[in-house]
Amino acid sequence: GMTRIIEKIRQRRKNRASVAASRSKESKNELTAGWYYSFEFFPPKTEPGLDNLLTRIERMTRRLDPLFIDVTWGSEGSTAARTLSVASQAQRYFGVDVLMHLTTTGL
């Protein structure tokens, strides 16, 4: 199922608090004050570029554990197919939540 980002933040705070409970007061403040972040990606134009991006997404999400990744949906749907490909593969194979945002121009 789809998790709301705020729920992921609450769960991470809870996890940090439980880890910090067994540590000193100084460590506890450091752990519970944590930062949350995401990564934004723009779909590449070529197949080799797509393969390279997916490799990077896998490595970055495994090592850095972002709350989610964001994939740009180009203006007027110019990157629709590639955006959907990146988003679905990242979610299915790497287990990361994905947000897609629409770029608008000329409004």
Residues noted as catalytic: 40
Instruction: Quote the CA–CA distance of 53 and 42 in Å, as a whole number.
Output: 9
Strands of the sheet with 98-102, listed across from one edge: 38-41, 68-73, 98-102
Phi-psi category of 38—alpha, beta or left, where left has phi over 0 and alpha has psi -120 to 50? beta
Environment class of 57 (CB within 10 Å of its CB; exposed 0-12, middle 13-18, buried 19+): buried
